[in-house]
Amino acid sequence: MNRIAWKCPVCGASLLPEYQKKPYVMRCCADHSFDIARQGYVNLLLAKKRSSASPGDSAEMVSARTAFLGGGYYRAFSDGVSAACLDLLGENGLQRAVIADAGCGEGYYTQNLCRYLGEHGIDAACVGFDLSKDAVTHASSCAKRASMADRLSYAVASIFELPLADACCDGIINLFAPVAVKEFDRVLKKDGFLLCAVPGERHLWGLKEAVYDTPYLNEVRRDVLDGFVLTEVRRIEDCVTICTQEHIRALFSMTPYYWKTAKEDTEKLSRLQTLKTEIVFDLLLYRKR
């Protein structure tokens, strides 16, 4: 909490953690205060800004993703994200950094990144934001269990209105979540980086072959973002064997195909106990202009 330049979502003043007496809170100079939950996260999403009672991914989506990611199938991808961040910080000669994960979900990549940077000699403070309270609760419980809460924080917040001061982040990762370009531009320091991930042409080809008679390649995406220059595209490829029906179902539910596939095609997956598939991601590395 301490190394992050938090901003009060009500008045915009800076928000500081107070640990003198329980319940711990974050408070601004105008006395707006927000409880720090026992798992360690803070909910900075104002009731009037909520689109529903529980915005963001549901508890079921969070647990499907937790089950799948816990199987380690996307480890190569996660390591690739962490290695790219290390390189991007290195290009700016930084040994100390603040990195935000915008749309962090249950914190799999945030925690791996924070650990990886620490292991590579970077004094990193990482902070994850997500609309889903279920996801953030899970993420901060994991950080607490891993004794990483001093350098890894989480908040429930929209990435379109980040509770962060201007120009306080050295980098942002944004993985499979909406891209809030203007807000990212605001909170990044000069020369800060933005790392986005998009699926490559043959991403999940094995899964698609198992479901569809004529699978299509994914479209190649190279999004142009206002205020940013795309400096590099890094491909991360692996071939994984998913070895339980639960994980196959969990992976499918994480994809857009889950919502648009006919029932008889979806049922083909329930007959499988293992599934071998390519995974292909392109990391789009941007610099703030």
Ligand X SMILES: C[S@@+](CC[C@H](N)C(=O)[O-])C[C@H]1O[C@@H](n2cnc3c(N)ncnc32)[C@H](O)[C@@H]1O
Q: Which residues bind ligand X (CB under 6 A)?
A: 56-57, 65, 103-105, 108-109, 129-132, 135, 158-160, 175-178
- Nearest approach in angstroms of CB 11 to Zn ion is 3
List 10, 67, 76, 149, residue binding Zn ion (CB under 5 A): 10
Cα separation of 217 and 205, whole Å?
Answer: 8
| Maximum separation of any 2 CA atoms in the chain, in Å | 62
Indicate which of ligand X, Zn ion, none lies near residue 65 (CB less than 5 to 8 Å, by partner kind).
ligand X
Residues between 208 and 237 with contacts to Zn ion, criterion CB under 5 A: none
CB of 177 to ligand X, least distance (A): 4
CA atoms within 13 A on the CB side of 167: 4
Q: Residue number with the shortest CB distance to Zn ion?
A: 8
Q: Which is nearer to ligand X, 135 or 169 (CB)?
A: 135
* Minimum gap (Å) between residue 9 Cβ and Zn ion: 8
Q: Judging by DSSP bridges, how do beta strands 123-130 and 188-199 pair with one another?
A: unpaired
Query: What's the min distance (Å) between Cβ of 31 and ligand X?
Result: 26
Q: Which is nearer to Zn ion, 15 or 100 (CB)?
A: 15
Residue 191, Cβ neighbours under 10 Å: how many? 13
Instruction: Give me the least distance between CB of 218 and ligand X, in Å please.
Output: 16
Instruction: Quote the tokens at residue 56.
Output: 């963001």
Residue 28: which of Zn ion, ligand X, none does it interact with, CB under 5 to 8 A by kind? Zn ion
- Compute the least distance from the CB of residue 30 to ligand X, in Å: 25
Q: Cβ contacts of residue 155 below 8 Å, gap of 6+? A: 6, 41, 42, 43, 44, 127, 128, 129, 136, 163
Question: 175 contacts which partner out of ligand X, Zn ion, none, CB within 5 to 8 A by kind?
Answer: ligand X
- How many beta carbons lie within 10 A of that of residue 132, not counting itself? 22
Report the nearest approach of ligand X to the CB of residue 153 (Å): 15
Crossing angle of helices 59-70 and 108-119, rounded to 10°: 40
Separation between Cα atoms, residue 138 and residue 174, nearest integer Å: 19
**How many Cβ atoms from other residues are within 10 Å of residue 70's Cβ?**
12
Q: Should residue 14 be labelled a site residue for Zn ion when binding is judged by CB under 5 A?
A: no
Binder among 2, 11, 221, 235 for Zn ion (CB under 5 A): 11
By CB under 5 A, what part of segment 20-59 binds Zn ion?
28, 30, 32
The answer to whether the peptide bond before residue 55 is cis (omega within 30 degrees of 0) is no
Given a contact cutoff of 8 angstroms between Cβ atoms, the answer to whether 187 and 123 are in contact is no
Total chain residues near Zn ion (CB under 5 A): 7
Residue 141 binds which entry of Zn ion, ligand X, none, with Cβ cut-offs from 5 to 8 Å by kind? none
Q: Extract the tokens encoding 145.
A: 């269990």
Binding site for Zn ion (CB under 5 A): 8, 10-11, 13, 28, 30, 32
